[in-house]
Structure 1
Amino acid sequence: MIDHFGINCANWEESKAFYDTVLGALGYTRQMDYQVAIGYGTEGKPDFWIADMSAGDAAGPNREVHFAFQAADVDAVQAFYDAALGAGAESLHAPRLWPEYHPGYYGAFVRDPDGNNIEAVFHGAQPQG
């Protein structure tokens, strides 16, 4: 439902490397790069933007936000989580089913370099057992 959204990043170089890594694990790449803002997505459409907090209009207070990226399956959620931890992210919740959200909701949560709560989610997971 969300067309696109963006966040400000305090450590621009660290954030670019982090998002290249974790979004790459989900199949997303840089679609546009304006040096002070980068849009990630697929097929030429940037859906998620990061901006250098110290650059012009992007400057301002940075607050934690939560956002979720769609994953193709539970393996992609795991790949995202592993990539995030490998890139230095703090684990908030390891990959698992979240039945309190809805049946089949499988997600993993990490904190990015700027303290944002990010998630990869697959909505069609089957319960084990």
Structure 2
Amino acid sequence: MIDHFGIVCADFAKAQHFYDTVLGVLGYSRQMEFGPAIGYGRAGKPDFWIEDGGDREVGAPIHFAFQAADVDQVREFYDAAVGLGAESLHAPRLWPEYHPGYFGSFVRDPDGNNVEAVFHGAGPTPGDG
């Protein structure tokens, strides 16, 4: 169900040290750094993210992603959310900057959280990318 999620950290340097250490004990490591965020996991897939929140209130809205079975479900998720009045953050598309085959859409839920549906096995699709 949950594909990945992230938290906002008030002291990013301290959080990096903490999570590098405690997740390392569990066999997890840094898998990706993207802007002001670091993703931890295994085998190239970041499942847990920390983000520099020095300029934001800790406890602010977070990001999490739900696994979708295919690109059609990603699109249906997006259409359903927008149909309910959710703010569109990113329409469904390929995100090659994350990894090949990453197809996702992002909306803001009623509480302001950045909610994503993602499918990791997409190929090139007409009109996306």
Compute the TM-score of the two structures, normalised by the length of structure 1: 0.52
Q: CA RMSD in A?
A: 2.6
Give yes or no for the alignment of 1:79 onto 2:63.
no
Of 96, 106, 117, the residue aligned with 2:103 is 106
Count of matched residue pairs: 74
Write the mapping of 1:54-73 to structure 2, written as runs, cut at 5 A.
Answer: 63-73=60-70
Judge conservation of contact 2:2–2:67 (CA < 8 Å) in 1.
no
Change (3 A) 1:77 1:2: closer
Structure 2 CA distance for partners of 1:74 and 1:112, relative to 1, 3 Å: same
Shift of 1:63: 1.8
Counterparts of 1:1-16 in structure 2 under 5 Å?
A: none
Q: Deviations along 1:7-57, whole A, 9 cap, x unmatched?
A: xxxxxxxxxxxxxxxxxxxxxxxxxxxxxxxxxxxxxxxxxxxxxxxxxxx
Following the alignment from structure 1 to structure 2, what is the Cα–Cα distance between the partners of residues 62 and 112? 16
Q: Tell me how far apart the structure 1 counterparts of residues 66 and 2 of structure 2 sit (CA, whole Å).
A: 11
SS at match of 2:96: coil
Matched, 1:97 2:94: yes
1 CA distance for matches of 2:2 and 2:81? 23
- The Cα of 1:75 is off from its aligned counterpart by 0.2
Structure 1 stretches of 5 or more lacking a match?
6-60
Deviation beyond 3 Å, 4+ runs, structure 1: none
- Mapped partners of 2:90, 2:111: distance in 1: 17
CA distance in 1, matches of 2:113, 2:68: 19
In the alignment, structure 1 residue 121 sits paired with structure 2 residue 113 = no
% same residue: 78
Gaps of 5+ in 2: 6-57
